[in-house]
């Protein structure tokens, strides 16, 4: 499933007459492309394939690569291993003008992933010696204090999908392929659901709430927010690695005992996430504690908007005041599980539709692919 080699934009007049002509003009492609060679280092395995990982970050990597190529950048794949994405060229540090790293942290409990961390650090030192600009995108809040100090000393550009970024970081949100459905005709080759206009009917699903995503540092929050609703007759479903034993994951016996009324399922391929969310009346944005403080917007926000499934947001998540006020008016800012249950039972069709519209507006405002290309250009120009 590779990128079509040469693609022409649709006629501008066709875009203006389309069902999405109301999308902001900034979503129209600006002039980019300087025959620049962009190196990418990523651990993401699926790249919108059939891999069942439920890892949100992998959903945008292929889209980013394809847009870079469409804009005439040459993409050099820097990570080792057999999985080299279509339409990229295997290369090394000396071959690139700018290097983008999707940060891989040290994982001593996983030797194969720890090897990738060491490879990443070796590459960073090589690039630094060659004076090649580096962008580090932090997708997990897992850069250690020691590594962070080193990266700042190297002068790399640090980015993260945060509304309230940490000192030294710049905001860079995941890009949404769904925003560009009328611009890039090859998106249909991704097999993603709902690339065409559609409208869901509120509360027609038999599942009250579905959460898709792995457990990592979300278990206590999940118990707090999901158990009260699940104890009623409502169907609550969770997809991901929740029943798998592992570091900081208690395993099936403990999880099913402490969350007995929740229906657990395994991991999903990226293509199945939006379809699965669209079969529920609601979802929830669970997050690691540090994500709440910085307003760390995961890929799940994009998927919820694409599925037109309104998401509950725990009240300790940092949001701009305007958005927090509007989501709260609709009943989707919740303090705990009892509050979620109460609000779910009193939601109206108008609340549901207004929240779906708010989610769409939020993604349009924040999840722009061109910001990625702007920062790549900026990094290269500062060389």
Check whether residue 46 and residue 76 sit in a common domain.
yes
Say which residue, 5 or 322, is predicted with more confidence: 322
The CATH number for 283's domain is: 3.40.50.2000
Whether 5 maps to a domain, the answer reads no
Check whether residue 360 and residue 217 sit in a common domain.
yes
Check whether residue 169 and residue 225 sit in a common domain.
no
| pLDDT number for residue 195 | 60
Mean pLDDT value across the chain: 85
Does residue 20 surpass a pLDDT of 50?
Answer: no
Reported pTM: 0.87
Whether 190 maps to a domain, the answer reads no
Check whether residue 63 and residue 163 sit in a common domain.
yes
Check: CB of residue 302 under 8 Å from CB of residue 367.
Answer: yes
The CATH number for 164's domain is: 3.40.50.2300
Which of 49-58, 135-144, 192-201 is predicted with the least confidence, judged by mean pLDDT?
Answer: 49-58
Beta bridge partners, 323, equal: none
Q: How far apart are CA 284 and CA 124, in angstroms?
A: 37
| pLDDT number for residue 192 | 73
Whether 21 maps to a domain, the answer reads no
Whether 188 maps to a domain, the answer reads no
- Per-residue pLDDT averaged across 89-103, rounded? 89
Whether 293 maps to a domain, the answer reads yes
Check whether residue 360 and residue 293 sit in a common domain.
yes
| pLDDT number for residue 8 | 34
Whether 292 maps to a domain, the answer reads yes
Check whether residue 261 and residue 328 sit in a common domain.
yes
> Whole domain around residue 300: which residue ranges?
207-365
Q: What is the DSSP string of 335-358?
A: SSHHHHHHHHHH--HHHHHHHHHH
Q: How far apart are CA 175 and CA 152, in angstroms?
A: 25
Does residue 28 surpass a pLDDT of 70?
Answer: no
Whether 324 maps to a domain, the answer reads yes
Q: How far apart are CA 96 and CA 73, in angstroms?
A: 11
Domain count, the chain: 2
Does residue 164 surpass a pLDDT of 70?
Answer: yes
Nearest in space to 101 (alpha carbons), one of 147, 146, 46: 147
Residues 188-213: tens digit of each pLDDT: 777 776 666 567 899 999 999 999 99
Give 24's contacts (C-beta < 8 A, 6+ positions apart): 364
| pLDDT number for residue 79 | 83
Check whether residue 110 and residue 156 sit in a common domain.
yes
Check whether residue 141 and residue 38 sit in a common domain.
yes
Check whether residue 247 and residue 353 sit in a common domain.
yes
Q: How far apart are CA 335 and CA 333, in angstroms?
A: 7
């Amino acid at each position: 499933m590779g990128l079509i080699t040469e693609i022409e934009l649709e006629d501008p007049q066709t875009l203006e007459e389309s069902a999405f002509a109301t999308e902001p003009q900034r979503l129209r492609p600006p002039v980019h492309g300087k025959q620049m060679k962009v190196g990418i280092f990523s651990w993401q395995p699926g790249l919108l394939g059939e891999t069942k990982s439920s890892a949100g970050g992998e959903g945008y990597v292929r889209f980013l690569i394809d847009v870079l190529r469409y804009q005439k950048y040459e993409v050099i794949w820097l990570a080792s291993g057999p999985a080299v994405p279509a339409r990229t060229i295997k290369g090394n540090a000396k071959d690139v003008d700018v290097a983008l790293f999707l940060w891989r942290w040290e994982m001593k409990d996983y030797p194969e992933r720890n090897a990738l961390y060491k490879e990443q650090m070796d590459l960073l030192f090589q690039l630094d010696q060659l004076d090649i600009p580096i962008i580090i995108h932090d997708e997990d809040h897992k850069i250690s204090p020691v590594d962070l100090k080193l990266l700042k000393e190297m002068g790399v550009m640090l980015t993260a999908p945060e509304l309230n970024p940490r000192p030294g970081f710049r905001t860079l949100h995941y890009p949404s392929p769904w925003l560009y459905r009328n611009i890039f005709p090859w998106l249909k080759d991704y097999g993603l659901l709902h690339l065409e206009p559609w409208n869901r009917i509120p509360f027609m699903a038999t599942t009250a709430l579905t959460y898709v995503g792995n457990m990592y540092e979300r278990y206590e929050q999940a118990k707090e927010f999901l158990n009260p609703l699940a104890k009623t007759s409502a169907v609550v479903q969770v997809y991901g690695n929740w029943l798998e034993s592992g570091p900081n994951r208690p395993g099936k016996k403990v999880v099913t005992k402490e969350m007995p009324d929740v229906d657990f399922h395994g991991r999903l391929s990226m293509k199945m996430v939006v379809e699965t969310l669209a079969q529920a009346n609601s979802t929830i944005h669970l997050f690691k504690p540090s994500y709440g403080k910085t307003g760390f917007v995961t890929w799940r926000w994009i998927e919820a908007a694409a599925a037109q499934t309104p998401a509950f947001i725990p009240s300790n998540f940092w949001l701009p005041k305007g958005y927090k006020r509007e989501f709260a008016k609709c009943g989707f800012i919740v303090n705990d599980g009892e509050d979620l249950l109460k609000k779910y039972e009193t939601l109206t069709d108008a609340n549901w539709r207004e929240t779906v519209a708010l989610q769409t507006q939020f993604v349009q405002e924040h999840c722009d692919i061109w910001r990625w290309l702007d920062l790549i250009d900026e990094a290269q120009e500062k060389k």
